Structure 1
Amino acid sequence: MALYRRTADFISASWADQHTQLPLLAVTGASFALGLLVQSLLRTGPVQAGILPSPRSTILPRLSEEEIRKLPLPSDVLPGGRDVESPYGSLRCYEWGREDGPKVLLVHGITTPCVSLGGLAHALVDRGCRYLKGTKLTHERFGRGYSETPADLPQDERLFTTQILLALASSPISWTGASSGKFCLVGYSLGGGIVANFASYFPEMLSSLVLLAPAGMMHDNDVGLQARLLYSRGLVPESVLGYFVRKRLRGGPLVPPKVNPKGDNKVGVESALTEEFATGNEAETQILSREYPHINIPSSVVWQVDNNPGFVHAFMSTMRFGPIFRSKQWSAWARLGAYLSAQNGAPVGSQAGKGLPNDKVHIICGNNDQIINKDDLVTDATAALGGNATFKFYDAGHEFPSTKYEDIASYMINFL
């Protein structure tokens, strides 16, 4: 009965959007009925414990070297690749550049593998920086690219923080400690929420912090009803939700396009994906992999959806538990802001002034971003960080890190 009550309460609370959401409600209702009929077979409990493999073990052994090179996401898409074994499964890292140059760690978004930041990584290396990237932790995070997936753990800031530390510890050079020279931490979209949370706990490791169209300060009502239904737990079996999410991520229609007469934007399943795609001339000119100049984000994402067994699970878990929303991340951003305020007021040369010496968080946004509301972000980030933030804007959308990478690298080199 509790399940029926939760369903009734959810639908009642969402009735105001009925005219634009009826198709999805019908699908959800049918799925719910199906779930009741077969609930003895399809349980909605925890995901089975274990590690979901990556294409490294399921796809690559069957292919020749030439076939691997023709993949939409080759295993050597970026230089310096390595696979790091861990209790959470293996993660893919890419690291290259001068060992004595400034160190930069890049963290990608929710759907795209780490090649989405490949253009920025190359641009930074051209300017003398060393780049570390781990498969999600883009570094490809768990469940993305060639990283495996811990199926029994939520994809939340605890797992993401651990993955950053695993990637750092696997490097042949020192990224932490008194003699390391510290490193610059950069996060894009979801990665922005991840690195802001990480910095709030480990600011002394960092020389600077750069957030590119960051999540973390999104409002709960920025997400549309369709997405809330798809990522709710307990209403329908996980297998049914997974089927619909996979269709959405591959571009298959689930319901007709939403027409919103009010013109307000709501983040849905497709928008989390497609807003990271460049279009038009910028898509044709972007070079994310110099080894494979033809590589593009849409085809690599579709390949990832089809060939990484952990991707859909990781995506759904991240939407549920990841560092996305202001209501859950305000305390972390405020903790970082308090640290920066204390550091800025510390006497020169004191121990208190040794972390994040650039003093402010660098936040870069697109004026036309359909995912991250620029005005809300400026207001909320400034308040949460205690004014310890500086902003830069591009006339672009959410995809700008994969198209404006030369401009971003030139901006960053000024404080690296």
Structure 2
Amino acid sequence: MTPIVPDFARHSRTYLFVGAAALGTLVFLKSIGTSTIPTGPHIIPSPKDTLLPNLTAEEVNQLPYPPDPLPGRRDVSSALGDTRVYEWGPEDGRRVILIHGISTPSIALANIAQKLVDRECRVMLFDLFGRGYSSTVTPYTHPHTTLLYLAQLSSCIASSPLPWTSFTLIGYSLGGALAADIASRIPSSIENLILIAPGGLIRSSHINWRSRLLYSSHGILPEWLIEQLVARRLWTGPETVAHPEPEKDVAQLSGEIEEPRGGLRSAAVYTTSHHRLLPDYENSTAAKVVDWQILHHRGFIPSFVSAIRNAPIHGQQARWGILRSNIETEVGGVRKVFLVLGETDPIIVAEELVEDAIDVLGRENVEVRIVKGVGHEVAISNAEDVVGAVEEAFASQG
């Protein structure tokens, strides 16, 4: 249970956080150019506005991502787009925020969230811009950087009826990369940091020339072609194996090519690609949710591409070094970084990440849990292992 604090002290911290978040949003908008501000940024709507109004009740019930699948649903508006948020659990429980991966929206972490609620936590999940039922400001003028996502997180927190002055932060894959970066930027708000198969320290040796060509932001390939190729790679169809996290290189679109482990490419096989993200909904598999977004969310592929280009996926040693400094000088609440990794993950290679995380953070500042026989889908298939890491983090604080 979280301690009860005087209303003034509690809410003053909230005001400070929201004020800092608002300032951060303004700095972000200024950094990407003020020419778009007077007329307002262009927003790409989500299926909430473009699809749902045209469906019958029966068709809605068949959606891979139903419109109201989790408790505490709300839609939060901002100048950068609308965000789908879910928040539930005991009002006085430990606060936990979860950030999903690059292609599957927040329902991918629903099982972890419910298990935490069962342990008396108050949880918050949200669809990143351009995923699920969140719209997005166009990535062509507003790149999908940490600052964009931090502004989104801030709007979610500010919209809550409860104070979220500090919280445990959990991130999966891209969400793990974002969580580490965010924790380095707002340390006083973060109590614990749990990273599940996170990006951030992926070795540059895993980025080959084909990846560089596909995701170049310098006009080597036209944007429409890049988006078409990425959509084709992510598309699974009814008979193929899903690739719910980052896709193969463009050179592999026309055939099966053996590729080394590591880097933001698709795994050869995702054993849980047809595992339900929502137990009560038969169609809610990772494969079908990704296909649904490709078909019905015009902002999904542009957001995916922009995140690959601009999110903190590679070369984040400096930001993680700030985490170490904050831990060792006791700035904020994080005392260790908890890693949950899949033993057979072909994208986030466990032995490499452990070596690099220890090198950057220091051995005493890292706790590692490697789940045997599991790949990059560890957050979807092994929620109990993630919750175990969270409980270990709680216990370490006394």
TM-score category, normalised to shorter length: 0.7 to 0.9
Bigger Rg, structure 1 or 2: 1
Hey, what's the Cα distance between the residues in 1 that align with 2:121 and 2:278?
Answer: 17
Hey, what's the Cα distance between the residues in 2 that align with 1:69 and 1:61?
Answer: 13
Q: Secondary structure at the match of 2:177?
A: helix
Residue type of the alignment partner of 1:235: I
Alignment match, 2:355: 379
Tell me whether 1:172 sits opposite 2:161 in the alignment: yes
Hey, what's the Cα distance between the residues in 2 that align with 1:77 and 1:223?
Answer: 37
CA positional deviation for 1:408: 2.1
Q: Secondary structure at the match of 2:261?
A: coil
Alignment match, 1:405: 383
Q: Secondary structure at the match of 2:290?
A: helix
Residue type of the alignment partner of 1:202: I
Kept after mapping to 2: 8 A contact 1:227/1:267 = no
Tell me whether 1:75 sits opposite 2:51 in the alignment: no
1:79-118 equivalent positions in 2, closer than 5 A: 79-118=71-110
Alignment match, 1:228: 212
Hey, what's the Cα distance between the residues in 1 that align with 2:63 and 2:199?
Answer: 30
Kept after mapping to 1: 8 A contact 2:338/2:389 = no
CA 1:49/1:86 → structure 2, altered by over 3 Å: closer, same or farther?
A: closer
Between the two proteins, the alignment pairs up a number of residues equal to: 337
Please, which runs of 5 or more residues in structure 1 have no aligned partner?
1-45, 135-139, 177-181, 344-351
Kept after mapping to 2: 8 A contact 1:98/1:129 = yes
Alignment match, 1:370: 346
Residue type of the alignment partner of 1:60: L
CA positional deviation for 1:105: 0.3
Match of 1:148 among 118, 122, 135: 135
Alignment match, 1:245: 230
Kept after mapping to 2: 8 A contact 1:155/1:318 = yes
Hey, what's the Cα distance between the residues in 2 that align with 1:119 and 1:89?
Answer: 27
Please, which runs of 5 or more residues in structure 2 have no aligned partner?
1-35, 238-251
Q: Secondary structure at the match of 1:123?
A: helix
Deviations, residues 206-241 of structure 1 (Å, cap 9, x unaligned): 211100011000012213433222111311211111
Match of 2:368 among 391, 396, 405: 391
Kept after mapping to 2: 8 A contact 1:338/1:386 = no
TM-score (norm 1): 0.77
Hey, what's the Cα distance between the residues in 1 that align with 2:288 and 2:202?
Answer: 28
Alignment match, 2:25: none
Kept after mapping to 1: 8 A contact 2:130/2:297 = yes
CA positional deviation for 1:267: 3.6
Hey, what's the Cα distance between the residues in 1 that align with 2:66 and 2:43?
Answer: 22
Alignment match, 1:126: 118
Match of 1:219 among 194, 203, 217: 203
> RMSD of the TM alignment (CA)?
2.1
Hey, what's the Cα distance between the residues in 2 that align with 1:278 and 1:174?
Answer: 39
CA positional deviation for 1:158: 1.0
CA positional deviation for 1:124: 0.9
Kept after mapping to 2: 8 A contact 1:224/1:266 = no
Hey, what's the Cα distance between the residues in 2 that align with 1:183 and 1:317?
Answer: 28
Alignment match, 1:298: 287
Deviations, residues 6-31 of structure 1 (Å, cap 9, x unaligned): xxxxxxxxxxxxxxxxxxxxxxxxxx
CA positional deviation for 1:159: 0.7
Alignment match, 2:256: 257
Tell me whether 1:315 sits opposite 2:304 in the alignment: yes
Hey, what's the Cα distance between the residues in 1 that align with 2:350 and 2:392?
Answer: 24
Hey, what's the Cα distance between the residues in 2 that align with 1:266 and 1:211?
Answer: 17
1:1-80 equivalent positions in 2, closer than 5 A: 50-80=42-72
Match of 1:187 among 152, 171, 181: 171
Match of 1:201 among 178, 185, 199: 185
Alignment match, 1:10: none
CA 1:122/1:184 → structure 2, altered by over 3 Å: closer, same or farther?
A: same
Alignment match, 2:326: 339
